[in-house]
Amino acid sequence: MSDIKKVVLAYSGGLDTSVIVKWLQETYRCEVVTFTADIGQGEEVEPARAKAAALGVKEIYVDDLREEYVRDYVFPMFRANTIYEGEYLLGTSIARPLIAKRLIEIANETGADAISHGATGKGNDQVRFELGAYALKPGIKVIAPWREWDLTSREKLMGYCEQHDIPVDFSTKKKKSPYSMDANLLHISYEGGNLEDPWWEPEEDMWRWSVSPENAPDQPTYVELTYEKGDIVAIDDQPMTPATVLAHLNKLGGDNGIGRLDLVENRYVGMKSRGCYETPGGTIMLRAHRAIESLTLDREVAHLKDALMPKYAETIYNGYWWSPERKMLQVMIDETQHVVNGKVRVKLYKGNVTVVGRQSDDSLFDEKIATFEDDAGAYDQKDAEGFIKLNALRLRIAANKNRKMDS
């Protein structure tokens, strides 16, 4: 007899998690609570309610988390100009701590003994969900069916559905992509299928959010972004909420062929994985945020932020959003953003994001000093001689000692 009486399942309404509902009921003889999060995946999530009810679920949560997702997770991450391994904008990684948080909240509300998810035993998501859950509720039990059952293929899952009278018309009668896809307001990812061959070029009809740069408009699109404390608060002088900002930039970016990425990344569990991503809005945000920081941040602060960013990115990628080190880094990052205010103008053209203007009342750019024209004595160029000699002192001493400086 299982000591688990109630489980909260992260439920998408698709084939895998519908099987998991029945499998949990059969294997653990427990009550299942389903939680479906709307984080901007672009598909209607409300039908998950009816699907869960058809499987005998009594407590069903369908939550719109789009604003919380962008405000409390995406925006803080972009304040750090975060990219993993030089390319990946962490669209999947940053969504997982929010889902983990909500799973634990629902477990507390419903008196559940455990949580469950549909992540496989090969991927990063199992780590992200579970590290988050344990950080927020150390004694919670986690059930990961893909690490327990023998339903290791789509055919076996379908057979289980037939055996247990699980309705699966919603997942089988639509044209199915050959790829495993995951979407939210920040990105859509593609894995598996032909992409498992790193030499394979993805076909054009794989991409869902963007036109190809070749087919993008022949005229550029200009857009102005207004920043307050490092976050975009308006586009073209129109105030917008965080989720609306990202949705709007996704549309503009996608229409101009921006944000496609083909990447081989290093998963936390140890293997390399090839995936393709579309992050049109995030690509614009990253370029523009660096532009406004270039105007407003002190040099050493900016350089220190850049030095810390890879650690911050790795922390998020590996699932440690709720760790003390991420929180420490976030405090440091957020402290730098008080002066990151102003406007950035970007040009979107055939896959490119070009910064063409930036302005701020907090700008450290001094035209009187930076000018190539007569600066009226604002900068004494003779001072540079002593500066250079002092900085060359150790090099001169080493050269006088005949230290070899091999190229």
Residues with a known catalytic role? 16, 96, 125, 180
Whether residue 294 contacts residue 362, with contact meaning beta carbons closer than 8 Å, is answered with: no
**Using CB atoms within 10 A of its CB, is residue 397 exposed (0-12), middle (13-18) or buried (19+)?**
exposed
CA dist 41 to 88, 272, 282, 340, Å?
18, 25, 15, 30
Structure token digits, residue 244 = 């609306």
Whether residue 272 contacts residue 266, with contact meaning beta carbons closer than 8 Å, is answered with: yes
d(CA 397, CA 36): 67
Structure token digits, residue 381 = 């160029």
Computed on alpha carbons and rounded to an integer, the radius of gyration of the chain in Å comes to 25
Whether residue 35 contacts residue 9, with contact meaning beta carbons closer than 8 Å, is answered with: yes
Measured on CA atoms in the order 354, 356, 362, 363, is the torsion positive or negative? positive
Read off the DSSP letter of residue 73: I
CB atoms within 10 A of CB 47: 13
Which are the contacts of 92, defined by CB distance < 8 A and separation ≥ 6? 124, 125, 182, 184, 187, 189
